[in-house]
């Protein structure tokens, strides 16, 4: 019996240690997280006097919903966001919240015509921010930057250094084929950064974002030539992260560099997940889909039109 007890004790101990080291990394398109103030960008739709009647109560409810998602995800060690108006709204998610008291923020203002940015939060008790910046680029046929920057940050966990990139590529507005070149341009800019990091021998990269493209489209495939995709249709029961025209599709992605896929330290193979927590879903017009904040101008008190995606990582 003693050998059996010893093995059981060792198994339980190892499981506890494993659980302590394992954290989630997540990405979430939060769908139009605007404050209630009239800012310099095109935020007129999200003001108290607008048709949406976007007010403090709705804004605070939206913040509470995002916190609920983060807690359900297990308080990610890093979480990327898209469709946030500014640093203030992201900081409001975590500020004065006991659960997120150690979290830091990485954000740069983008030149996006809609006034939305990307950002990330991170657990500063686990990670040290070494550097951060944004990659600004001009889309084909334009003379100045008008879309979301690509955000990157370099972190250190103990002795391990890695990069996180957060993306929100140009939409399909005007037609999928007609807008394809814009997303290809974003992919090429991202690839240049990935190549520069890997060529320096510092190739541990986590790539997050709403790419407005499916895994088999041209632009995401350029990333997949360099990094390993972690989110597929098989990563969740919904078979997608976004519901449009009565069809699910994977628009929200996580890729990791092959060097990050390690048994002892790094991303855990096969851990990619599309999270369809019950509170995120509702039946609308007879179909189960993400519970949005609005349907047109009708306030639904929901979360987002996208589902959050995540992976598991083991950090020393």
What is the secondary structure of 95-148 as a DSSP string? TT-GGGTTEEEEE-----TT--EEEEEEETTT-EEEEEEEE----TT-SS--SP
* pLDDT given at position 183: 98
* Number of residues assigned to the chain: 316
Residue 19 has pLDDT above 60, yes or no: no
Among residues of the chain, what percentage have pLDDT more than 90?
Answer: 79
The whole model's pTM is what?
Answer: 0.92
Residue 20 has pLDDT above 70, yes or no: no
Residue 221, judged by CB atoms within 10 A of its CB (0-12, 13-18, 19+), counts as: middle
CA–CA dist 84, 95 (Å, integer): 16
In the sheet that holds 205-210, the strands lie side by side as 128-135, 150-157, 160-168, 205-210, 252-256, 228-229
Q: Using one digit for the tens of pLDDT, what is the confidence trace for 137-170? A: 999 999 999 999 999 999 999 989 999 999 999 9
Query: What sign does the dihedral 224-81-67-284 (CA atoms) show?
Result: negative
Architecture of domain 23-309: 4-Layer Sandwich (3.60)
87, two tokens: 């640093």
- CA atoms within 13 Å, Cβ hemisphere of 123: 17
Beta bridge partners of 84: 33, 117
Q: Chain-wide mean pLDDT for the chain? A: 91
Average pLDDT over residues 292-310: 95
276, two tokens: 């369809």
132, two tokens: 């951060």
Q: Using one digit for the tens of pLDDT, what is the confidence trace for 167-176? A: 999 999 999 9
* pLDDT given at position 201: 78
84, two tokens: 């946030």
| φ and ψ of 235, to 5 deg | -80, 0
The gap between the terminal CA atoms of the chain, to the nearest Å, is: 34
- Using 50, 70 and 90 to split pLDDT, how confident is the model at 263? low
| φ and ψ of 209, to 5 deg | 160, 160
Of 236, 316, 308, the closest CA to residue 75 belongs to 308
């Amino acid at each position: 019996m003693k050998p059996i007890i010893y093995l059981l004790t060792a198994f339980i101990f190892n499981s506890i240690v494993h659980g302590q080291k394992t954290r989630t990394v997540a990405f979430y398109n939060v769908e139009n997280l605007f404050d209630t103030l009239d800012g310099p960008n095109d935020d007129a739709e999200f003001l108290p006097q607008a048709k949406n009647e976007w007010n403090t109560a709705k804004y605070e409810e939206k913040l509470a919903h995002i916190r609920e998602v983060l807690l359900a995800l297990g308080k990610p060690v890093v979480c990327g966001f898209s469709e946030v108006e500014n640093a203030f709204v992201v900081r409001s998610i975590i500020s004065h919240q006991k659960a997120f008291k150690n979290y830091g923020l990485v954000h740069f203002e983008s030149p996006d015509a809609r006034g939305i940015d990307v950002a990330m939060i991170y657990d500063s008790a686990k990670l040290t921010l070494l550097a951060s910046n944004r990659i600004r680029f001009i889309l084909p046929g334009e003379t100045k930057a008008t879309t979301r920057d690509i955000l990157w940050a370099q972190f250190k966990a103990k002795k391990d250094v890695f990069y996180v990139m957060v993306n929100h590529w140009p939409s399909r507005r005007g037609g999928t084929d007609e807008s394809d070149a814009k997303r290809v341009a974003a992919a090429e800019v991202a690839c240049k950064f990935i190549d520069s990091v890997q060529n320096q021998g510092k190739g541990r990269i986590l790539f997050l974002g709403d790419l407005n493209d499916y895994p088999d489209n041209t632009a995401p495939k350029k990333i997949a030539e360099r990094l390993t995709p972690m989110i597929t249709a098989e990563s969740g029961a919904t078979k997608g992260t976004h519901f449009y025209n009565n069809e699910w599709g994977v628009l929200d992605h996580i890729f990791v560099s092959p060097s990050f896929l390690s048994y002892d330290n790094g991303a855990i193979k096969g851990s990619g997940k599309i999270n369809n927590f019950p509170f995120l879903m509702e039946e609308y017009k007879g179909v189960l889909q993400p519970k949005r904040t609005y349907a047109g101008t009708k306030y639904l008190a929901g979360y987002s039109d996208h589902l959050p995606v995540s992976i598991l990582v083991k950090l020393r």
